[in-house]
Amino acid sequence: MKIALWIVQGLLAVAFLMAGSMKMMTAYDELAVQMAWVGRWSEQMVMLIGLVEVLGALGLILPSVLRIQPKLTPIAAMGLVLVMGLAIIDHLRAGETVDAFAPLILMAMALFVAWGRWSKHPIQPK
């Protein structure tokens, strides 16, 4: 279980670090061409979503690895659950059912990390 949690934490961190960085560093017009949902939101909101994803990725790994306030890891995971829940709602409201599957999978993975690090295998602080 401990190994599975670390693997899922790592995969989530990479996914959110890449997705968030892309939202923050790619021009808004270019993102709007690549992803239909971007056009429904302002440039500032897309940047904020990217920032939240990057911070969530860091929160999944750093507190656990450094063992400094490791209770922040399940909190970061729950924050990403919220972000993915909102993404699912946005996609479903726009009729983009297929596009809701990736956020659903990421949400399930983040829920697993939150549950595992909160109750099953919490990391002890230094």
Amino acid present at 38 = V
DSSP for 18-76 reads HHHHHHHHS-HHHHHHH-GGGGGS-HHHHHHHHHHHHHHHHHHHHHHHHTSSTTHHHHH
For residue 123, the model assigns a pLDDT of 93
Listed as ranges, residues in the chain with pLDDT below 50 are none
Which amino acid is present at 52?
V
- 113-122 confidence digits (pLDDT tens): 999 999 999 9
Residue 126: predicted pLDDT: 86
Distance CA 41, CA 86 (A): 13
- What pLDDT is attached to residue 94? 97
pTM for the whole structure: 0.93
Instruction: Tell me if 99 sits within 8 A of 37, measured CB to CB.
Output: yes
